[in-house]
Amino acid sequence: MRDLDVVGQSYPQIDAMEKAMGKTKFVSDLALPNMLYGRILRSPYAHARIKHIDISKAKSLTGVKAVVAYADTPGIKFGPRTEDWTILASDKVRFCGDEVAAVAAVDEDIAEGALDLIKVEYEELPMVSDPLEAMEPDVPLIHEDKPGNIAFEFKIDVGDVDEAFKNSYVIYEDRYYTNQVYQAYLEPMGAIADVDLSGRITFWVGTQIPNMMRMTYAKAMGVSPDSIRVIVPDYGGAFGAKMENNVHLVAAVLAQKAGYPVKMINTRHDDFIAGNPRVPMYIDIKLGATREGILTGKEVRVVGGAGARVVYAHAIVATACYRADSLYRFKHVRSKGYTVYTNTVPTSCFRGFGNAQMTFVLESALDTIADQLDIDPAELRIKNGIGPDEVSIHGWIINSCGLKDCISKATEAAKWQEKRQLKKPFRGIGISCCNHVSGNRAFAREFDGAGGIVRIGRDGRVTVYAGESDMGQGQKTVFAQIVAERLGVPLNLVHVAIVDTDFSPFGLGSFATRGTLMGGNGVLAAADDAFKQLADVAAEMLEANPNDIECSNEKFFVKGSPERNVPFKDVTEKATFVRYGSPVVGTGFYNPGTELPDAETKYGNISPAYPFACQVAEVEVDPDTGQIKVLNFVAAHDIGRAINPMATEGQIQGGVIQGLGWALMENMVTENGSIANPDFLDYLIPTALDSPNITPILVEPIESSGPYGAKGIGEPALNPAMSAITNAIYNATGIRIKELPVSAEKILKELKKRPK
């Protein structure tokens, strides 16, 4: 491969200026002529039967154009994976915030005022908000067809775990709890929906999965998928949350009824109570090791709270059950996972997808075992860590793997040895590792992979179409760099279109840390195709063989003689003319060759590549107040080649701060079935002042399956952060944190239990 010009360079995001100057139009900024504003009447009860709804008064309010309840919806049961959803509540409400009725009016004030005029008679039912309680006998059923409130069970059993435990020198066993946290993206969920005369519905919506959403919504609305168009304008963050949500569908039902476009954006309050926060989990872990510190067996039982309906909680619980097994050389593992209904807000994806929860638990357990065996925790991880060209216990083919490099680089930068040897009172240093995927065949339904389209106009302007949307993570910039590199043009010639299901490839979406590897390979294949078309024209102009044509710095030339060249734009113009105005359109796709895991054994290579990481945190604990200060943070990440090192470092910094927030302050508190802190006054997220100095380290083994050798960074940036901090707290105080988040008050309580 020749030297790279654009890939591997640090560029600001290609849309950074627009965003910094306030020019970007986010979903909330958009307006259509005659647009109405929608609001949803949400349930004040966690569990109640709806006895009667009267919308007549609301309908007669001046300015109100439509009022809808269940009877006005198609009344179809649907769901992204489990058909336990309806667009509005039919006979009962299942959580505080459940959608009961909705209004569209000429302005937001009238819409909100009209909500007060809808009269709903409820009969309260006994409710349950804790997933462990929900599984107990004689607990009210949230969905009558699901005994024990169990929506899903997941099982995996490989090797002989009982035998492995028998052959262990130490066995650690404990229960952990990871709490419900909110993604806290800048822009709340919402959509504009419009219906044309043929009945075709267009959504302008910030979503990570435009095409999968379209399939789900087609079912919900009782129409064919081609009767739905999803346009994804720029949108303000997602962190996993922006998948399917009823707020979009309610907008569509209102638009159908009113005959005008309807804009429905959650208030922050509604987003807290009816978004899709992280799946809370109780995790029982049993972990064994030999005297030398070789891990023998692992057994976990995961109980995840899905809330009132399943969004993707079952897949998240499954991921928690087994993904982390491929971080180390496990031979014997057993997991049971339960996805349990509760009368709380439906939970779903959040950066890490269950692996974040389990990484916290596994890495805490490992830390304890290291302590019991008196082995350096970093050493323990190096001893057991998986390496390149290995096949993991679940059949995952690890191509590139910089795990051990990450460990040695992170510990060196953090002065691990020195800090542990010269330990000061109430100061501590902790380590944590993680693995992840770059795409997840177990989650994608029909296929995994990606397509791309590269269109080049007469003027040489390049437009890239992909199915993986940019929510602020920088997907557009990465695609532009990949395409610019392949075509041999500067970055500013390449533009990336928003995702629109009418024009873009059928992409699975931006999740599972798949955007760069899958989407990047898709647009690279398309750029390849476009390049070949241009090379044919350039070859004619240069009187050469098309196979010998290269392009760099915007000039086509024959390999080996760059001095005789034709400008890129001359070639694109010529190409357009000889085709009678038809633009050069390159298309292509990437097939990752991954396997759908076996239904029984879950064996199968689910991703073309696996990123790894090691993070080291240093903390100081105030023995009087229990307050925790994170002094320093080093995050070493194996991401394959960094397409854009600066953007990658940004992802790492953001992931670490988000993980720090989860570890130390973020918590959705449920009291009597409703969220007690649905605002940023009491749902705390870290500020710049809470951020320690973070040193990102890029470990870049070239990944053979990745575009220019890249893997992914989104989720692994966060996964190890919580346990790096809690392991450091353990090192500082001897307190093992088994429940997130850790507050100063909790620490002080533990410190006070100690004999003085």
Nearer to another protein by Cβ, of 562 and 623: the residue is 623
Can you read off the two tokens belonging to residue 643?
A: 């397409």
Figure out which of the listed residues 676, 704, 734, 739 binds another protein, where binding follows CB under 8 A.
676
Shortest distance, position 60 Cβ to another protein, whole Å:
20
CA 317, CA 304: separation in Å to the nearest integer?
A: 6
Please report how the helices 645-664 and 721-733 are oriented relative to each other, as an axis angle in degrees rounded to 10: 50
Q: Looking at beta carbons only, is 541 or 748 nearer to another protein? A: 748
Query: Which residue in this structure is represented by tokens 């039912």?
Result: 125
Burial of 599 (0-12, 13-18, 19+ CB in 10 A): exposed
682 sits near another protein (criterion: CB under 8 A): yes
| Rounded distance between C-alpha atoms, residue 318 and residue 245, angstroms | 22
Q: Which of residues 400-439 bind another protein (CB under 8 A)?
A: none
From the list 717, 698, 703, the residue with the least C-alpha distance to 645 is 698
| Identity of the residue, 109 or 173, whose beta carbon is nearer to another protein in the bound complex | 109
Does the footprint of another protein cover residue 686 (CB under 8 A)? Answer: yes
**How many other β-carbons are positioned within 10 Å of the β-carbon of residue 498?**
17
The smaller minimum CB distance to another protein, of residues 607 and 670, is found at: 670
**Exposure b/e, 674-687, CB count within 10 A at least 16 = b:** bbebbeeeebbbbe
Q: Under the criterion CB under 8 A, does residue 653 sit at the interface with another protein?
A: no
Which residues fall within 8 angstroms of residue 754, CB to CB, at 6 or more apart? Answer: none
Kindly write out the interface string for residues 655-674 of this chain, putting x where it contacts another protein by CB under 8 A and - elsewhere.
Answer: ----------x---x-----
Which CA distances in Å does 205 have to 88, 187, 352, 755? Answer: 19, 11, 23, 57
Closest C-alpha among 189, 74, 155 to residue 334:
155
We find the least distance from the C-beta atom of residue 751 to another protein, in angstroms, to be: 11
152-211: which residues touch another protein (CB under 8 A)? none
Q: Which 15-54 positions form the footprint of another protein (CB under 8 A)?
A: none
Nearer to another protein, 382 or 684 (CB): 684
C-beta of 422 vs 688, nearer to another protein:
688
Restricted to residues 87-116, the positions that interact with another protein (CB under 8 A) are 108-109, 112
Nearer to another protein, 132 or 748 (CB): 748
Q: Number of helices (H) and strands (E), helices first, in the chain?
A: 19, 31
**Cα–Cα nearest to 721, from 388, 355, 287:** 355
Residue placing its CB nearer to another protein in the complex, 269 or 458: 269
Total of residues contacting another protein (CB under 8 A): 24
> Exactly one of 390, 528, 570, 690 binds another protein (CB under 8 A); which one?
690
CA angle (194, 195, 198) in 5-degree steps: 155
435 forms bridges with which residues in the sheet? 612
Task: Tell me the closest approach of the beta carbon of residue 279 to another protein, in angstroms.
Answer: 22
Considering only residues 730 to 749 of the shown chain, the ones binding another protein according to CB under 8 A are 743-745, 748
Q: Which stretch binds another protein (CB under 8 A): 285-293, 299-307, 612-620, 684-692?
A: 684-692
* Stretch near another protein under the rule CB under 8 A, chosen from 162-170, 267-275, 525-533, 650-658: 267-275
The full length of the chain comes to 756
What minimum distance in Å lies between the beta carbon of 89 and another protein?
Answer: 22
Q: Do 320 and 248 meet the contact criterion of CB atoms below 8 Å apart? A: no
Beta carbon nearer to another protein, 21 or 688: 688
Taking the complex as a whole, the smallest distance from the CB of residue 622 to another protein amounts, in Å, to 9
Query: Residue 404's CB: how many other CB atoms inside 10 A?
Result: 20
Distance CA 431, CA 512 (A): 24
Name the β-bridge partners of 588.
452
- Cβ neighbors of 439 (< 8 A, separation 6 or more) are 448, 512, 513, 514, 517, 518, 592, 594, 606, 607, 608
CB under 8 A: which stretch of 22-30, 315-323, 572-580, 682-690 binds another protein?
Answer: 682-690
- Which of these ranges, 24-32, 372-380, 583-591, 677-685, lies near another protein under the rule CB under 8 A? 677-685
Answer yes or no whether residue 677 interacts with another protein by CB under 8 A: yes
Contact pattern for another protein over residues 565 through 604, marking x by CB under 8 A: ----------------------------------------
Q: Which is nearer to another protein, 1 or 681 (CB)?
A: 681
User: Given the complex with another protein, which of 600 and 624 has the nearer CB atom?
Assistant: 624
Nearer to another protein, 130 or 270 (CB): 270
Return the bridge partners of 390, or none. 398
Nearer residue to another protein within complex by CB, 559 or 749: 749
Helix, strand or coil, per DSSP, at residue 212: helix
Provide, rounded to whole angstroms, the least separation between the CB of residue 110 and another protein. Answer: 10
Rounded to a whole number of angstroms, the minimum distance from the CB of residue 629 to another protein is 9
Site for another protein in 112-141 (CB under 8 A): 112
- The CB-of-354 to another protein minimum distance in angstroms stands at 27
Alpha helices (runs of H) in 189-240, residue ranges in sequence order: 210-221
Single out the residue of 684, 702, 736, 750 in contact with another protein (rule: CB under 8 A).
684
> Is 750 a binder of another protein (CB under 8 A)?
no
User: Is residue 269 a contact residue for another protein (CB under 8 A)?
Assistant: yes
Judged by CB, which is closer to another protein: 128, or 665? 665
* Residue 654 CB, nearest approach to another protein (Å): 17
- Torsion angles phi and psi, residue 336, rounded to 5: -130, 135
Minimum distance, C-beta of residue 50 to another protein, in the bound complex (Å) = 24
Peptide bond into 425 cis (omega under 30): no
Closer residue to another protein (CB): 21 or 681: 681
User: What tokens does 213 get?
Assistant: 């959403």
Q: Which long-range contacts (CB under 8 A, 24 or more apart) does 376-383 make?
A: 376/420, 377/430, 377/431, 377/727, 378/407, 378/411, 378/416, 378/431, 379/293, 380/293, 381/328, 381/407, 381/431, 381/433, 381/614, 382/407, 382/408, 383/292, 383/293, 383/294
Which residue's CB is nearer to another protein, number 111 or number 518?
Answer: 111
> Quick check: 373 binds another protein (CB under 8 A)?
no
SS3 for 321-361 is HHHHHHCECCCEEEEEEEEEECCCCCCECCCCCCHHHHHHH
**At its nearest, how many Å lie between another protein and the CB of residue 207?**
24
Q: What distance in Å separates the CA atoms of residue 5 and residue 23, rounded to the nearest whole number?
A: 29
Among 197, 547, 681, 755, binds another protein (CB under 8 A): 681
Identify the residue among 167, 545, 553, 625 touching another protein (CB under 8 A): 625
Burial string for 120-147 (b: 16+ CB within 10 Å, else e) reads bebeebebbbbbeebbeeebeebbeebe
Q: State the minimum distance, in angstroms, from the CB of residue 181 to another protein.
A: 15
Q: What is the binding site for another protein (CB under 8 A)?
A: 108-109, 112, 267-269, 624-625, 665, 669, 676-677, 681-682, 684, 686-690, 743-745, 748
